[in-house]
Amino acid sequence: MNAAAIDGLLAALEKLPDNVPLRLNVARLLIQAGRHTEAIEQLNVVLAIDADNADNADTIQLLMDASAGLSTQGQTVEGSPAPSAGPNAQAASDFDWHRAEQELGPSLPAPFVEDHPESDPQAISGSTEGTGGALFDIDRPVVTLADVGGLDDVKTRLNESFLEPMRNPEVAKAFGKSLRGGLLLYGPPGCGKTFMARAVAGELGASFMTATMTDILDKYIGETEKNLHEIFQAARRAAPAVLFLDEIDSVATKRSALSGGAAWMRQTVNQLLLELDSMDAQNDGLFVLAATNHPWDIDTALLRPGRLDRMLLVLPPDRPAREAILKHHFSSRPIAGIDVKKIAARTEDFSGADLEHVVTSAAEKAMMESLRKGSVQAISMSHVNQALKDIRPSTRAWLQSARNVVEFSNSNGSYDELGQYLRARKML
């Protein structure tokens, strides 16, 4: 990329100083152009704007690339002085490494991570056998239900079943409402089930803990159940807490369908049932949220009262929600003439992840045009229209498979809500 194009991007940063993605792209181009000192300056600004980028793999890699470029810029392989790289190049011997270490040191992670659970009050130790002493991280999300676009029915059910009882424990006890519970979120992938779980924890200022299949499953007999027990124990110690079990169908498959080499999974399902409703489980203040794209594959015992006794359908965002999602993803990028309402009207059945993909693809097309013209080109509707030609809603395949379940396997009415949605869409 020529110097004029890079200078044009630097000029754009003066108008958009808080645009972290653009600044990271500029740093990447500066490294490619051999302007390593300037790249480090840009990365310093990124870390000053958003310290969380110190844990971002892309930012760390860019810092390493820039530093490596500086360290080799002044010498050839044989150790003789290298040819001059131009006015923007700087020999390693002229670079103030002591100053750079002071500026970047507090923000950069250590080269190697060492597990010291006894000295970290925020880390809760998991199983030390079979999992390599894993740590189950617990955080306190700042997002709330107000940050979730649409899904009003889901929010109402969450308020009734868990949020209001937790906020008013005395009133809840007077009505015989236990301060524990479980809820299964299901629907097409990419529609915000994980984000909804984090928002529940944020509403209460409660601890939030995520457990996935990789945290639970182990190749050694008995270790999977031990991992599952330790995860629940960690969540109980952190109560009030929201324990989010993602892709729960992978560890709670119908026991009647397990045979042969998969028969060992029955004990995992049994352990999960025990953790959810054992009399000595001490689950008060613990709310279990589970998510799946395939609720029909889950063992029915898990859905009985007192366990995951409520199922909530998380559908693709409606038009107002799509507008909110699009505005969020466009907000950190240079745009011109974007009509969010028109885009939302053309993206029916798009999941939140699909909408993010549309914005990212449009940004890539604007970036490539900027590179060709040598100056920054804001994202326009033409870029969006090009992106929409290549992207189709990912939820339709799921809705087609769900239609068969509603038609032939809904004798107990579990999927009535899904059936209503499909009929409204004339898919049933």
Q: Domains of the chain by range and CATH?
A: 3-104 (1.25.40), 128-313 (3.40.50.300), 319-390 (1.10.8.60), 395-424 (no CATH)
For residue 124, give the H/E element and its range: strand 123-125
How many beta carbons lie within 10 A of that of residue 218, not counting itself?
A: 19
DSSP state of 317: P
CA dist 424 and 418 (Å) reads 10
What's the rounded Cα separation, in Å, for the pair 351 and 150? 12
Count of residues for the chain?
428
Q: CA 209, CA 139: separation in Å to the nearest integer? A: 7
Note the pLDDT of residue 255.
85
Tell me, what DSSP letter sits at residue 83? P
Tens digit of pLDDT at every position of the chain (428 positions): 567 777 777 877 787 788 887 888 888 888 888 887 888 888 778 777 776 665 566 666 676 676 666 655 543 333 333 333 444 444 444 545 455 445 444 444 443 334 444 434 334 444 433 333 444 567 777 788 887 777 777 788 778 777 787 778 778 778 776 666 688 999 999 888 888 888 888 887 778 888 877 888 888 878 888 999 999 988 888 887 888 898 898 888 888 877 766 667 888 889 898 888 754 457 777 888 899 999 999 998 888 877 887 888 888 988 988 998 999 899 889 999 999 999 999 999 999 999 999 999 999 999 999 999 888 899 999 999 999 999 999 999 999 989 999 999 888 888 898 999 999 888 88
Q: What is the pTM of this model?
A: 0.64
Nearest to 184 by CA among 292, 297, 294, 300: 292
DSSP for 373-423, written as a single string: HTS---B-HHHHHHHHHH---THHHHHHHHHHHHHHS-TTSTTHHHHHHHH
What's the chain's Rg over C-alpha atoms?
Answer: 26
Confirm if 330 and 323 have CB atoms less than 8 A apart.
no
Burial class (CB in 10 A: 0-12, 13-18, 19+), 369: middle
Nearest alpha-carbon partner for 407 in 386, 424, 428:
428
Residue 343's H or E segment, with its range, is helix 340-345
Can you say whether residue 176 is alpha, beta or left, with left for phi > 0 and alpha for psi between -120 and 50 degrees?
A: left
pLDDT value for 195 = 84
CA distances from 377 to 336, 362, 364, 374 (A): 9, 11, 11, 9
Q: Give me the residue label for tokens 């892309």.
A: 58
Q: In what order do the strands lie in the sheet with 123-125?
A: 123-125, 135-139, 207-211, 241-245, 286-292, 181-186, 310-313
Burial of 217 (0-12, 13-18, 19+ CB in 10 A): middle
Burial 97-115 (b: 16+ CB within 10 A, else e): eeebeebbeebbeeeeeee
The separation between the first and the last C-alpha atoms of the chain, rounded to the nearest angstrom, is 53
pLDDT at 90: 42
Output the pLDDT for position 8.
Answer: 74
| Cβ atoms < 10 Å from Cβ of 81 | 9
pLDDT attached to residue 66: 67
* DSSP state letter for 126: -
Show the CA angle centred on residue 285, arms to residues 280 and 289, nearest 5°. 95
Tokens 């906020």 belong to residue? 167
